[in-house]
Amino acid sequence: GAGVSQSPSNKVTEKGKDVELRCDPISGHTALYWYRQSLGQGLEFLIYFQGNSAPDKSGLPSDRFSAERTGGSVSTLTIQRTQQEDSAVYLCASSVSEWDRDTDTQYFGPGTRLTVL
């Protein structure tokens, strides 16, 4: 079946502009995660959604970052007033359910490479 998809694959923006990154999880997966991968920082957790529960935002680096998940499926990560240090690859992952430890393997999308000039 189809995997996790993300769009756009690449985004170049100017400092100070807002960007939106999209993630389509695997159909039927109730848990959705955002991470970012940058040189020197490795892979960092940003936020995750589980069903209709309030999202865990503990990994968001600043209040310029926000995310929403509509209808329990597609998610959008928004970065306002982008800064050069926001340049990274933003990865989305989904899993069947974080509560079922036998099946909570996370499957990753190809990522969105964000470059802030």
Partner 1 sequence: AQSVSQHNHHVILSEAASLELGCNYSYGGTVNLFWYVQYPGQHLQLLLKYFSGDPLVKGIKGFEAEFIKSKFSFNLRKPSVQWSDTAEYFCAVNGGSQGNLIFGKGTKLSVKP
Give the residue with the Cβ less far from partner 1, 20 or 56.
56
72's CB contacts (< 8 A; 6+ apart) are: 30, 51, 52
Which burial class, exposed, middle or buried, applies to 32 when counting CB atoms under 10 A from its CB (0-12, 13-18, 19+)? buried
Give the residue with the Cβ less far from partner 1, 15 or 41.
41
What are the tokens at 53? 């529960």
50 contacts 31 by C-beta, under 8 angstroms: yes
Q: Total number of residues binding partner 1 (CB under 8 A)?
A: 25
Instruction: State which of residues 22, 72, 96, 107 lies at the interface with partner 1 (CB under 8 A).
Output: 107
Give the residue with the Cβ less far from partner 1, 60 or 74.
60
Beta bridge partners of 93: 33, 108
59 in contact with partner 1 (CB under 8 A): yes
90 in contact with partner 1 (CB under 8 A): no
Give the residue with the Cβ less far from partner 1, 6 or 82.
6
Beta bridge partners of 68: 76
Q: Which residues are near partner 1 by CB under 8 A?
A: 31, 33, 35, 42-45, 48, 50, 56, 59, 91, 93, 95, 98, 101-102, 104-111
